[in-house]
Structures are given as C-alpha cells and as structure tokens.
A and B are shown apart, each in its own frame.
Chain A
Amino acid sequence: MAQVLLRSIEKSFGETRVLKGIDLAIEDGEFVSLVGPSGCGKSTLLRIIAGLEHQDAGSVTIGSRAVDGVRASDRNLSMVFQSYALYPHLTVAENIAVPLRMRELDMWQRLPLLGRFLPGAGDRLRHIGAAVDDAARMLDITHLMDRRPGQLSGGQRQRVALGRALVRRPDAFLLDEPLSNLDAKLRVHTRAEIAELHRRLGATFIYVTHDQAEAMTMSDRIAVMMDGALLQVATPDEIYNNPADIRVAGFIGSPQMNLLPVRQDHDGTVVVQTARLPLHVSTPQPGLTLGVRPEAVRVAGHGGALQGFVRHIENLGSELFVQVGDTGAADRIVARLEPAEGRHLCVGMPVGLGFDPARTILFGEDGRRVPAEAMTGAVPAGRGLVHG
C-alpha cells in the first residue's frame, strides 16, 4: 500500500504531445479514476505509472521511492488489462499463481516436473497454493480453477485477471478499462464488486475509464483528463456539482449538462435570450455560457425564462428526460422530471423552462468557471423557479 505521486509528467509520441505536464497526488488507499474521452492520454499516464512507458519529463514516486528508471517488474504494482492478458496455455489456478511463482521461486524451482523437488520449493509452493486459493475464494472463482481462459466467459476472465492482480500485495492496483469488454448488465454488477474489493483490501487503486458512470460510482476522487491535461481532480460530488471547466461539465453526467450562451446586462445581470436571470456577474465578461443540469431545469405550462416545444420524451420508468427545442438556443434543452410531473406532457406541446439559480453555473469564454452571485431576493423564497 502506498501513495503515488506524479510530478509534471510529459510525454510525446513523435510530434504529438500526449501528456502536457500532469501533477497528481494519489493518497494511500485511495480509489482514483482517470477519466476522459479516448485519446486524452489517460492510458498512457497509467502505463507510465506502471513503468511500461517512459515519460519524457517529470517524475513518478510510489511510496517514498522515486521509480523513474525502475523497470515495471521492480515497481511492485499489479495491473488489470483491458484485454485481461491472461496466459492462454495456463489454467485459471496457474494464471493466478504466476506473479508469485515469478517472484518467490528461482529459475530452477520453476522448471516443470523437476522444480518442485528442489530444496525449498515445497514450502513455497504450498504457500503459493494457499494464496491462490484465497484470491480465488475472494472472487468466487474456485470452481473454475482447472479451466483454461479459452473456456471462460468474459466476466469470468475478468475475475481471473483481478485474481492475478491481487494474489500478492502490491503497492497499488492499476486497472486499465477492465470493464469495457463486458456487457452492460455485468458491467454494473462488477463495478460494485470492484468498489467493494477496494474497501476490503484498503489498497491504492488507479482506475482508467472513458465511462463517466464508472468513475462516478466507484471513485474516492476523479481526475478528469482532456487533451493531455488534468482539468479537475475532485470527489464525484464536487465534479458533478461544481465542474471547474466547461469540458468537465459536458463530459460528466448523463444526459449531459445543458449549456446555453448568455450575455450580461449593463448592470451585470445574466440574460438568456431576453429573460433576466437572478444571477449577477460583477466584472464584464464576453462569451458567457450558462450550465444547468437536467434536474435543475423546471418545465412549466407557460412562462419561465425560455419558451419552446417538447420535441422528444425519454421515459426511463423511474424518470423522464424531456427534450425541449425551438427555444432560441442551438441545442435542445433537456429536463429531468419525475414520471408524475411529466405525465401531462406530449411531443409538440409548447412549454416554458425555468432554472434553479442556485444550481446554475457560469463559464467564461476560455471555458473556466466564472463566479456569479445568485440574487436570491428576486426569487420567491422556497421556490427557486425563475420566471422571466
């Protein structure tokens, strides 16, 4: 178990700068997700931590040890690969045993047939067998021990890969999109299991994914990466409710945050289309964008800050997502409603939209957050609905 510290990591492949100075401190026992769209450099960063790739500049520290120039096998890390990378010729039990055999037996003791009779081999083999059994029991794969990876389903292979990672106690676990080859149902199930595994082991987990739902559901902290830079590192709550960058806001959350171009009135009040919102920005800012989560959008029969028409309704059973178009904004605005609230709505119906000012966010022209004060006085207490 150890802390992992990254200091100004840089990496280029040819002309392309993949990582542009990454600073990240991962605490001992923490579950941190590196999340971002494909090509953002998250896998490269994980491979640099693992030692499979070497950074052009910057340093990696694991525990109290700087590991730059230390090869992967000496870094005491375990990794779960997206493809699982199981050895196809070995059984499940043998696959899980590999990290222990490689580290605890010497070359002669590893020899087939003969090796087990060499001095010292018997005790160590018994110890390895016990550790493999423990790992298998933890992952509930004891009934698969004699099979080969080719005879296993995707979910079972994934468990074997996890077993191989946790059979010894590494300083940290690195997981590279381990769920992306599973079907949707199994993915939801397995992410809960991995989160529980993390709690049980109390080890440092670094988890790479492009799926914001995985990052949100499992992590202590999320590191959102885009174009080779870290945009924000914070708890899932913070990332969701207080995104520091418009790209974070757009990436995290499904359906994604509504982003509307707004302008400032002469007194600093934020204006969307023609409606004045009870939001105030003191310094003049060009190119402002208003961010509103679907659950902070209210649909009213008429009135509200914006008017439009219902274009589509997604009914998920437990909730409705109502897409409202022709509001004057380029994109449709999505509102999340309780099924009871949206029962009267149908496609084509004219509606008004209101925003909860306390739950809106403003971004400047550069995509960074702009501080805004909600003018609570303008709103009837306890309602939080804005009518223009």
Chain B
Amino acid sequence: MAELAAPPLRRPAIWPAHLYERLAGGLLALPAMVLMALLLVGPVMAVVLMSFTDYQLGAPAFAWIGADNYLALLGDRVFWKSLGNTLLYVAIVVPASVGLGLGVALLVESRDSLRGFYRAVFFIPVMATLIATAISWEFMLHPQFGLVNLLLRAAGFGAQNWLQDAKLVLPVLATIGIWQSFGFNMVLFMAGLTAIPRHLYEAAELDGARSPWSRFRLVTWPMLGPVTLFVVVISGIRSFQVFDTVQVLTKGGPNKHSEVLLYTMYAEGFEFFRSGHAAAIAVVFLGFVLLLTLLKTWAIERQVHYR
C-alpha cells in the first residue's frame, strides 16, 4: 500500500515545517484578532489608559497624572457611598431574582397547563425597555396619586414617599430590579429543568426519595448546577450594571442614597466632564465584573460539571 500514500505537501524550502504551519495559522487567525483588538481589547485599554490622565471631555490636551484619579477615589465619600450602594443592590437582587426565578420555574414546570402563558407573562419585563417601564414605575410610586400609595391608603396603611425616603429608596430600586430580571432567570431555569433526564427522577423514586424536597436535593438542585452558576454570574453582572432606573427615578438621590457605580461614572464623565475620574470608576467596575467571571471559570465551574 506504500505507493498509495499521498506525496508530502510541497512548501518553500527556506521555511522549517513548524514555522510555516505557525505562520499559516497566525495569518488565518489575523482578521479575528484584529477585530477583537479593535472592538474589545482596544476600548478597555483606552479606558485604563485614560484613568491615568487628567483628561476632561472636550479638552484639547491632557497630562499623565499616574494613580491620582484612584487616590482621589479612595478619599471620595460619594464613590464609597456609590460602591456600597451597588454592592447592597447586588446582594439583594441576585439571591432574590435567582431564588424567585428558580421557584417560579419549578412551579410552572410542575404543571402542563398554561406553561407558555406563564413563561410569556414573566418574560415581559425582560423584553420591555427598562427606561419605559421605569417611567411607569415612577407614576405608580408617586407619593400623592401613585397606584401603590392609593392601594395602601385604601387598605388602611400609611403612604410612603418611596423614592425620596433615604431608607426605602435602594430596596425599592432593588425590587424593580428583581421584577425586571427574574423572568430571564426563570426561562434559563426552565430550560435547565427540561434537560434533566426523567430517568433520574424515576431512579430517585425507587431509591426512596419520597418527598419533593428530597427529590429536589438529590436530583434537581445538583443537575441544575451549571445553569445556576450561569444565572448567578449573569445576574451579578447585570445588577452591577444598574443604571436606567436610577437615572430615570432618583438621579442618585435623596442625598446620594441611591448613588450607584455606573450612575456615578456617568455623572462624573458626562455631567462634570471629568473623563479621567470616570475612567477610574469604570476600571473599578470592570474589576468587579472580571472577578465574577474568574470566580465562574476557576472556582466553581469544576464543581458543577461532574467529571
């Protein structure tokens, strides 16, 4: 059969074989690399670089000021307030929207009837533009003639100034965030639930897992591991990005009680034109997002894919 073997590929004699292959591979990957550099890595690098300058939006020149922007952040009361508020917001929204999404998904999947209807209804807030729904929320939460206070008064409770009360404003924003995002989590969980083999539940039944709770612990929860991890990380990143509702409803008020990272960055960059300062906040924000992503890939991914 030796005469049937293909003749060796001809290549320019000046190139050693492995170098030639590398070059060809590199050339083939080049267009994608260029696009990634231009569209993904480039802007991030630009922001990082800008955070080391005193650049102001529209200014003709800038100077390198080293870590001054970051040092200024360290001493900035508003930044710390904003970071704390953001973390609190994330700490409320992530568990609640993940838990609610999982709970509703389990309820909807447990029955055959109206499954599509529930899925559509709970998904509407996800599809709707948040700016538009935020305006509806503003009407509903209006202290005098908002629907919420009208109902509370009718039921004999006291009315609240939802968006101007220092204690209430962040929980209210978090509630809107939960309302807006749990439908998305629900859809992801429903997809995860339908992917669990039925045989596992049957095996669990024969193995004596009698209660819904023991079936959940033995089969559903472990099998949802990869989905849950994904949902937690996505919810975390999305709630770190909270901006629309703050911009429409409170503008960070009252007295910075609803100031969040992205809003602070926006205000610094586009209202006070301190682009360098805003870039430093953006880098801090990116750091948190990166942290979540690393957490996903390194720490937990190995725990939820059972290999």
Q: Which residues of A are interface residues toward B (Cβ below 8 A)?
A: 50-52, 71-74, 77-79, 81, 83, 85-90, 98-99, 102-103, 107, 110, 148-151, 164
Which A residues lie within 8 Å of B298 (CB)? none
Task: Indicate whether A73 sits within 8 Å of B218 (C-beta atoms), given known contacts A81-B202, A85-B203.
Answer: no
> Interface centre among B202, B207, B208, by most A CB within 10 Å?
B207
Given A88-B223, A88-B306, A99 and B208 touching (CB < 8 A)? yes
A159 to chain B, nearest CB (A): 16
Say if the beta carbon of B209 comes within 8 Å of chain A. yes
The one of B202, B208, B219, B306 that contacts A148, using a Cβ cutoff of 8 Å:
B306
Q: A102-B209, A102-B210 are in contact. List 5 more A-B contacts (CB 8 A).
A: A50-B206, A72-B205, A102-B208, A148-B307, A149-B306
Chain A residues near B197 (CB, 8 Å)?
83, 85
- Size category of the B interface is 20 to 34
CB distance from A154 to the nearest CB of B (A): 15
Question: Quick one: which of A71, A77, A79, A151 has the most chain B CB within 10 A?
Answer: A79
**Binary contact readout B198-231 vs A (1 if CB under 8 angstroms, 0 otherwise):** 0110111111111101100111001101000000
Q: How far is the CA of A110 from the CA of B209 in the complex (A)?
A: 12
A148 to B305, CA, bound (A): 11
Pick from A52, A74, A99: contact of B207, CB below 8 A.
Answer: A99
Q: Give the residues in chain B near A72, CB-CB below 8 Å.
A: 202, 205-206
Contact indicator per residue, chain B 128-153, by CB within 8 Å of chain A (1) or not (0):
00000000000000000000000000
Within the assembled complex, what's the spacing in Å between the Cα atoms of A52 and B306?
27
Q: How many Å lie between the Cα of A243 and that of B225 in the bound state?
A: 52
**Is B208 touching A87 in the complex (CB atoms < 8 A)?**
no
Q: Which residues of A contact B204 (CB under 8 A)?
A: 98
List the B side residues contacting A151 at CB < 8 Å. 307
Instruction: Return chain A residues, CB-CB under 8 Å to B209.
Output: 73, 102
| Chain B 176-204 interface 0/1 with A at a Cβ cutoff of 8 Å (1 = within) | 00000000000000000000010110111
CB-CB under 8 A from A149, the residues of chain B are 306
With A83-B197, A87-B218 in contact, is A73–B210 under 8 Å at CB? Answer: yes
Interface centre among A50, A89, A90, A164 (most CB of B within 10 A): A89
Nearest-Cβ distance from residue B131 to partner chain A, whole angstroms:
42
On chain A, the residues within 8 Å of B202 by CB distance are: 50, 52, 72, 79, 81, 85
B205–A52 CB distance below 8 A: yes
A85: which of B199, B211, B214, B225 is its contact (CB, 8 Å)?
A: B199
A235 to chain B, nearest CB (A): 29
- Which 10 residue pairs across A and B have the least CB separation, nearest first? A102-B208, A85-B203, A89-B222, A85-B199, A88-B306, A99-B207, A150-B307, A103-B208, A72-B205, A89-B306
Given A72-B206, A78-B206, A99-B208, the answer on whether A107 and B214 have CB atoms closer than 8 Å is yes
A225 to nearest B CB, angstroms?
Answer: 21
**Nearest B-chain residue to A174, judged by Cβ:** B206
Q: A residues within 8 A CB of B205?
A: 51-52, 71-73
* Pairwise interchain contact A150-B203, C-beta atoms closer than 8 A: no
Contact for A87 among B206, B210, B219, B307, CB less than 8 A? B219
Closest beta carbon of chain B to A149's beta carbon, Å = 8
Closest to B307 in A: A150
Output the residue of B197, B205, B225, B307 with the most chain A CB within 10 A.
B205
- In the bound assembly, the distance between CA atoms of A41 and B219 in angstroms comes to 28
Q: Measured between C-beta atoms, what is the minimum distance from B215 to chain A in Å?
A: 10
Task: Report the bound CA distance from A164 to B206 in whole Å.
Answer: 11
B203 x A81 contact (CB < 8 A): yes
Contacting residues, chain B, for A78 (C-beta < 8 A): 206
**Are A98 and B206 also in contact (CB < 8 A) when A83-B199, A88-B306 are?**
no
Please give, as numbers and ranges, the residues of chain B lying within 8 Å of A81 by CB-CB distance: 199, 202-203
Residues of B within 8 A of A77 (CB): 206
**B:237-284 near A, CB below 8 Å:** none
> How far, in whole Å, are A151 and B206 apart by their CA atoms in the complex?
24
Tell me which residues across on chain B come within 8 A of A107, comparing CB atoms.
211, 213-214
B214 touching A87, Cβ below 8 Å: no
A residues near B223, Cβ cutoff 8 Å: 88-89
Q: How far is the CB of B141 from chain A (nearest CB, A)?
A: 42
Using Cβ atoms and an 8 Å threshold, which residues of chain B touch A71?
205, 210
Given A88-B223, A107-B214, the answer on whether A79 and B203 have CB atoms closer than 8 Å is yes
CA distance in complex: A72, B201 (Å): 11
In Å, the complex CA distance between A78 and B218 comes to: 17
Query: Which residues of chain B are within 8 angstroms of A89 by Cβ–Cβ distance?
Result: 222-223, 225, 306
* Contact B306 A98, beta carbon cutoff 8 Å: no
Are A87's CB and B200's CB within 8 A?
Answer: yes
Centre residue among A52, A71, A78, A151 by max chain B CB count within 10 A: A52
B71 shortest CB reach to chain A, Å: 44
Complex contact A79–B206 (CB within 8 A): yes
- Distance in angstroms from B297 CB to nearest chain A CB is 19
Contact in complex: A102, B214 (CB < 8 Å): yes
A143–B213 Cα gap in the complex (Å)?
A: 32
A164 touches B306 (CB 8 A): no
- CB-CB < 8 A to B214: which residues of A? 102, 107, 110
A93 to B168, CA, bound (A): 51
Within 8 A of A (CB), among B116-175: none
CB-defined A-B contacts under 8 Å, sample of 5: A52-B205, A81-B203, A85-B203, A102-B209, A164-B207
B219 closest partner in A (C-beta): A87
In the complex, what distance in Å separates the CA atom of A110 from the CA atom of B204? 15
Contacts of A88 in B (CB 8 A): 222-223, 306
User: Which residues of A are found within 8 Å of B206, using beta-carbon distances?
Assistant: 50, 52, 72-73, 77-79, 99
Q: How far is the CB of A305 from chain B (nearest CB, A)?
A: 50
Shortest Cβ distance from B236 into chain A, in angstroms?
23
Q: How far is the CA of A77 from the CA of B202 in the complex (A)?
A: 12
Residues of the B chain whose Cβ atoms lie less than 8 Å from the Cβ of A110: 214, 217
CB distance from A38 to the nearest CB of B (A): 17
Interface centre among B199, B211, B214 (most CB of A within 10 A): B199
Min Cβ gap B201→A in Å is: 9
